[in-house]
């Protein structure tokens, strides 16, 4: 992480192969196929994070957003105490582009926004 504040922009680990405990608790973990067929539904599971994040009233994940590149697909709003920051969505990619970047952004009320991405190949 850089020296900038956690609420300035998007947080990402400084070294993805050697994350700090804070980074491990906030980086979304994306589980989905590497290749999907255009128009066919597929499941995307998202966990925040590699070390489960707390969901206390004073410290919790507020929402999880899903984009393909800059196109918004879904938002899941979360409530402390009664939910866990783990979701599975069924998506379909209709684009004829050969590949697409799945972007998952979550927001922690104390540690700001964190983004993870995954390249997905879309076939006909
Ligand atoms: Fe946090």
| Residue 72 belongs to a domain | yes
**CATH number, residue 23:** 2.60.40.730
Overall number of domains in the chain: 1
| Residue 3 belongs to a domain | no
What is the Cα–Cα distance from 102 to 33, expressed in whole angstroms? 11
**pTM value surpassing 0.85:** yes
User: By the 8 A CB rule, do 120 and 93 touch?
Assistant: yes
Distance from the CA of 109 to the center of ligand 1, in angstroms? 7
The phi, psi pair for 94, rounded to 5°, reads -100, -5
Band the pLDDT of 97: cuts 50, 70, 90: low
Distance from the CA of 31 to the center of ligand 1, in angstroms? 21
What is the Cα–Cα distance from 100 to 96, expressed in whole angstroms? 10
Kindly report, residue by residue over 18-44, the tens digit of the pLDDT. Answer: 999 999 999 999 999 999 999 999 999
Cis peptide leading into residue 49 (ω within 30°):
yes
The pLDDT of residue 8: 86
The phi, psi pair for 99, rounded to 5°, reads -145, 160
């Amino acid at each position: 992480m850089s020296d900038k504040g956690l609420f300035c922009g998007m947080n990402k680990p400084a070294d993805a192969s050697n994350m700090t405990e804070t980074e491990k608790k906030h980086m979304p973990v994306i589980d989905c196929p590497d290749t999907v067929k255009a128009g066919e539904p597929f499941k995307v599971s998202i966990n925040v994070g590699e070390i489960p994040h707390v969901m206390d009233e004073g410290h919790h994940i507020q929402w999880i957003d899903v984009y393909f590149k800059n196109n918004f697909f879904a938002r899941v709003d979360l409530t402390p105490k009664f939910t866990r920051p783990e979701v599975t969505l069924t998506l379909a990619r209709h684009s004829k582009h050969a590949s697409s970047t799945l972007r998952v952004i979550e927001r922690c009320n104390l540690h700001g926004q964190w983004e993870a991405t995954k390249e997905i190949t879309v076939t006909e």
